[in-house]
A and B are shown apart, each in its own frame.
Chain A
Amino acid sequence: MISISKLLCGQTAEGDGLRYDDPDADIEQIREEKQKRPVVVWNTTRRCNLYCEHCYAGADLDPAQGELSTAEAKGLIDDLADYDVPVLLFSGGEPLVREDLVELVDYCTDRGVRAVLSTNGTLITEEKAQALKDAGLSYAGVSVDGLQERNDRFRGKDGAFEAAVRGIKNCLSVDLKTGLRYTITEHNAADMEDVVDLLYDVGVDRFCFYHLDYGGRGGDIADADLDDEAQRRAVNRLFDMTREYHAEGEEIETLLVGNYADSAYVVEYAEEELGHERAEEIHQYLRVNGGDPTGERVADVDYRGDVHLTQFWQSYSLGNVRDRSFGDIWDDESNPLLARLREREEHLTGKCASCQYQDVCRGSSRLRALAGSGDLFGPDPQCYLTAEERGVTPEPAD
């Protein structure tokens, strides 16, 4: 995650220590130091009450065999707590279809692991929001992918937008911190700003924008991904919008997720808009952050207990938590793929190999590279940087 509001506006947040090794004394931090263990996404179930076009988990209305039972889920949480995982993200499918969700959130927070939720929001009643808050849930990220008509079409259900906004209001009414999750495609890029305005009026102040990754059904709609120019426009607009809100004294938190070309681009933007000194400061924050976290600072456990390199990369599993503890699987660098991903700088090819921003990007998505060219260490096809921005001097014409 790249915190645009921190980098461009200096806004402090509870993730600063974890993300940039830069805790602010006035804000309670998730961790004071940059994380050594991964944030774990747990797909609690494959079931979902919606059928979204871009779902990386390929979630479905039907129940799936092999989901972790309540007791097994508690065993998993014990393993994660023993491994010192800082954050467990309860995801899905739709996690609220699990009847034991509140019990598991409660168990998680009792074990000292921060519990956060990724949801479509449509099943969050005020009572459920209160129960989750009482169980210690720190944050609910609610997915909305456009204004009403576009969101409902994307999510495969009329009324999904209204239900999600109702869910957001229910969370906010019990003082549960709540934010937006928005996956940007060519279908909804034009709605970004209006959705932010609308939800800010409702009381939301945290907005996470995801680039499309090519896992699950996301791979089926890769042709709806933004082209280079459209990505630059969308990201630029988010930078400008964040600064405009802050200039008005409205301190929204904005984040970009899933394409670390954004790290380079925010430095380029700062160089132009804020000056060289500020751009250098931002570049240093991003060096500490470390670029794409696949296989290192983020991990995924799916509904059957299979461990993945990120939540989007469901087609390959490192192992299953019913066979070995999460920590044993994650630490096992006898797996040559895991070992190479963790030293990817030595293996990147093509334009990534010579890019001046490799230290803050690290080749971005290996899953997209694989989908694009079949080369695990080839360039991410969604890198939108120009040759000049990458620091490549064009060969002089003869």
Chain B
Amino acid sequence: MASDDDPRRKPRIDGSRQWEVFLRERSAEPMRHVGSVTAPSADIATEQATTLFDYAASALWLCPADEVRRLGGNDLAEKGRAESAGDARTEGVRQ
């Protein structure tokens, strides 16, 4: 799902923006994704990410979520359609 229709790229309606946060703990380690913060400005997003992760990071990167092109992922719709159409729902209640 790499198109502009990707719902993960849609802007929020409350005037804030979502920022994906990436963290590197030590310089020999890769950057890794540690979630996202939502804030009305880049400065506030940076402040939030710093508060949450500064203790663990030698480097923090923030990227606007609506600028990220995502390939692959967890196709919930496909799962939901498959379960609805398949036997799973009539096989009984799982506990």
Contacts and interface: CB of A to CB of B under 8 A. Distances in A.
Q: Do A and B bind each other?
A: yes
Contact of A316 (B1, B23, B25, B37): B37
Majority secondary structure, B binding face: mixed
B74 A316 contact: no
Contacts of B23: 336
Contact of A72 (B53, B80, B94): B80
A322 B12 CA distance: 16
B35 A316 contact: yes
A319 B70 CA distance: 13
B46 interface: no
B75 A376 contact: no
Interface stretch (A76-84, A142-150, A195-203, A286-294): A76-84
A88 interface: no
B2 interface: no
B94 A112 contact: yes
Contact of A70 (B10, B78, B80): B80
A321 interface: yes
B91 to A, nearest CB: 10
A354 interface: no
B76 A79 contact: yes
Interface of A: 46, 58, 60, 62, 64-79, 81, 107, 109-112, 304-306, 314-325, 334-337, 370, 374, 376
Interface of B: 1, 7-8, 10-14, 18, 23, 25, 32-39, 48, 51-53, 55-56, 70, 73-81, 83-84, 88-89, 93-95
What are the 4 tightest A-B residue pairs by CB atom distance, in nearest-first order? A75-B76, A74-B80, A75-B79, A75-B80
21 contacts: A46-B13, A60-B14, A62-B13, A68-B76, A71-B77, A71-B84, A73-B80, A75-B81, A77-B80, A110-B89, A110-B93, A111-B89, A112-B95, A304-B7, A305-B76, A314-B38, A317-B35, A321-B74, A324-B73, A324-B74, A325-B74
